[in-house]
Structure formats: C-alpha cells, structure tokens
Amino acid sequence: MAYPYIIQGNNIVVVIDNKPHTVSKNHITYEKLKEAIKAADWEKVRDLIEPKQVVLNYGEGNVSIQGETFFWRGKELHNTLTERMIQMLKEEFPIEPLVHFIDNLMSNPSYRAVDELYGFLEKNNLPITPDGHFLAYKKVREDFSDCHTGTMDNSVGKVVEMERNHVDDNKEVTCSAGLHFCGMTYLAHFGGARTVIVKVNPRDVVSIPVDYNNAKARACRYEVIGELNVAPEDAFVKPVQETAVGSAWPFPIAEVAPAVTSGPKEGDTPFYAGYTAGYTGSVNSAVASADRVAYNEGYSKGVADASKGSVARYIYKGAVVATPQDYDKYGRPLSMTKDAIRKRQLRAAAKSTPKVVAQPAKSTGLWPQPKGF
C-alpha cells in the first residue's frame, strides 16, 4: 500500500493511517526514507517512520534513537559514544558492537569511567570487539610477569584480576595501584621486554590518568589474548568505528619477534634517561615534573640492573654506558682498564687449561748442560 507523501525543502512528510509524520533532513532515517520512497518500498517506509521499529532494529530493548536524541533505557544520554552511534546509523553502519559495548559500559559503577572511556579508545585507536569489549596494549617482563611486582603472570590465555576497590580511581594520581593497559603512544615511555595484547570489559575500567596525554588506564580485570611485535605496522591502526564493524575479531596477532642481542634498546624518553642515570650512578635534577614518574621508574630499574652486574637493557640516545664494576671474592673493586681486563682473561684461561708437566731431556754429554741438570 502506497502512502501519501510530499518533500518540502529539508523535510519529508508521509501520511500513515491519516496521521502526518515529518522527517527532517538531519534525522538518522532521512536518506533511507528518501531511497525507500524512490523504490516504492512502502513497507520499509512504514518501518522507518515508526520509532518503535528503530528501537527493535538497533536498540535490543535498551537503546532508542529519536531524531538526534539518544536514550538509554528511556533516559536521555549524550556523550562521545552516543554521538558516534548516531553518526554510524546515518552512514548505514551496523552498530551492534557498540550496543554490546554500551551494555557492558553501563554496568560500570564509575561515572567518570562511563563518560571518558570511549573517547580514550578513539584517541588511542583501540578497537572494539563484536562482544563489546576492547583491545589494548601492556608491557611485561621477559617471563611475562608484570613489570612492577613480578608476581602477576601475563602469559597468553591468562586472566589477571584484582579487587576493584584496590585499584586507584583518582585520575590525578598518575602512577598508582591497578592493572594497567595503554595505547601505542605510551609504549615508548615504559620499560619491559615484551608487549602483550589484553582484552578488557568496559565495566572493569576504573580510571584514566591524566598524564601522557591520556594514553594509559587502570582496570581490575583483563584477559591476555596475544603478544605483539611492537613495530608501527603491527599496531591497532584502524579507527574504532571501522574496526568495530569490520569483522576484525579475532585480531591478527603478530609472531613473537626474535630476541635482540646486538645491545641495549636505545630511546630518548624520560624512562631511558632515568635508566641510564641509574645504571651509571649519575643524577639529573633538571627533569621536568611531568617526566619525573617515568624517569624515576627507569632510574630504579637501572640501579637494580647495575647492582646485579647485568648488562644494560636500555640506553638514553647518545649516552655511553660503561661495563658495571666487577669485584673479587673479598668484595674489593677490580680495575677495569684494558690491561687489567687482558690479564684477568689470561689468568682465567690459564686456570681452565690442563697443566702439562715437561719431561727432562736425556743428557747427550755435550757441554754446556741445560740449567737444572
């Protein structure tokens, strides 16, 4: 059955059951309605006109969108996420991943986390999975334990969690208790031998600290799903919107990169400066306050490696790191000059070489006889 309609400027007026319905050009269904009228698809016209149909098609009972207004369970909601969902509907993208995402997000008891999380994901290009979770990065030690305590196993397949009320929810406290994850831009500011990919439920996010341009966050639970070879081409480079609707899950996991044995990693961030200073025993009192946390973290790791006699893992760009001081069995420092090192190497080689006892040669009766005979 055809319905009477008229297009007036930026509005389409359709009469259904003797009741006029006006759809403005900025309405999410305007373009779809215009195409349906052109195709004489009157059943689709009716579905697009009736608000209940929009809810059933897109909202799964929780989300309704009327014009430019977003409602969550009947209550108007306006933030970056709702704006994105409306925009996606206008561009005819499916919004199911974001519907699942907002379902999970609205289970989060933190007002600030609910308000800020989606903006954090867009800013850091962190993709949303079809089940409404998201993926992020985390630095860990060589054995997959956490960098801070070394007690939490972050091997692939592990679920790591802690009590939510043990996680610092104050975003102004930039380095504090919690399970940390981050975007690609933060990786250079933090030490660690490996980078893993974690899957986080939005309801488990606690805070997004203000330092490092909002590139890291704290949660109370995540699942480790893979390891990343930290090269730019391996990063999550697609926008959240595109990734969420592009069947990108499972996200391709890069193969583990071979260990680098050519020397310490070089960088010019505060962490590298701090590590080099701690390793060499120098102090830089001119570090900016914004860089102090990363500098101090690197400094403590550098001091620890130097005290164990370990080879330097990191080096500040342009700096020269000397070999750690060696000591004898009595705790006395040994000289590290080239000549001393050569002599020590010769002594060590001599100890490991079997002694050969020379047999005296038989006398021939000739004069002079060799000494000792």
**pLDDT at residue 204, rounded to an integer:** 95
pLDDT of the residue at 221: 95
**Higher per-residue confidence, 198 vs 175:** 198
Residue from 148, 103, 109, 145 nearest 128 by CA: 103
Q: Residues 157-176: pLDDT tens digits?
A: 899 999 998 998 887 777 78
Q: pLDDT value at position 23? A: 84
- State pLDDT tens for residues 249-305: 343 333 333 333 345 777 788 888 888 888 887 766 667 776 777 788 778 778 877
pLDDT at 61 over 70: no
**pLDDT per position as a tens digit, 245-258:** 443 434 333 333 33
pLDDT of residue 255: 36
pLDDT digits (tens, 9 = 90+) for 81-93: 888 887 777 676 7
Q: 197 versus 272: which is more confidently predicted?
A: 197
Using the predicted structure, report yes or no on whether residue 205 has a pLDDT greater than 90: yes
Q: Which two tokens stand for residue 119?
A: 């903006």
What's the pLDDT score for residue 355? 52
Residue 40 has pLDDT above 50, yes or no: yes
Q: What token pair was written down for 129?
A: 């999975």
Please tell me what DSSP assigns to residue 260. P
Rg (CA), the chain: 33
DSSP 184-243: GGGGGGS--SEEEEEEE-GGGEEE--SSTTT-EEEESEEEEEEEE--SGGGS--S-HHHH
Helix (H) or strand (E) holding 54: helix 51-54
Alpha carbons 43 and 334: distance in angstroms, whole number = 90
User: Residue 50 corresponds to which tokens in the numbers above?
Assistant: 């009736």
> Where on the phi/psi map is residue 40: left (φ > 0), alpha (ψ -120 to 50), or beta?
left
Per-residue pLDDT, 328: 55
CA dist 263 → 190, 272, 312 (Å): 18, 14, 8
Predicted confidence at residue 250, as pLDDT, reads: 40
Global confidence as pTM: 0.54
Written as six digits, the tokens of 67 are: 């014009």
Q: What are phi and psi for residue 162, nearest 5 degrees? A: -150, 165
Q: Which of 5-9, 15-19, 189-193, 202-206 has the lowest mean pLDDT?
A: 189-193
Token readout for 153 is 């196993």
Question: Closest Cα partner for 161 from 123, 108, 208, 198?
Answer: 198
The helix (H) or strand (E) run that includes residue 118 is helix 111-123
Q: What is the pLDDT of residues 97-129, one digit of tens each?
A: 888 898 899 899 998 888 889 888 888 888 888
Helices (H) and strands (E) in the chain, counts: 10, 15
The answer to which of 96-110, 148-162, 237-251, 316-330 has the lowest mean pLDDT is 237-251
Using pLDDT thresholds of 50, 70 and 90, give the confidence band for residue 235. low
- pLDDT class of 352 with cuts at 50, 70, 90: low
Residue carrying the six token digits 């909601």? 77
pLDDT class of 237 with cuts at 50, 70, 90 = low
Average pLDDT over residues 220-248: 62
Evaluate if residue 141 carries a pLDDT over 70.
Answer: yes
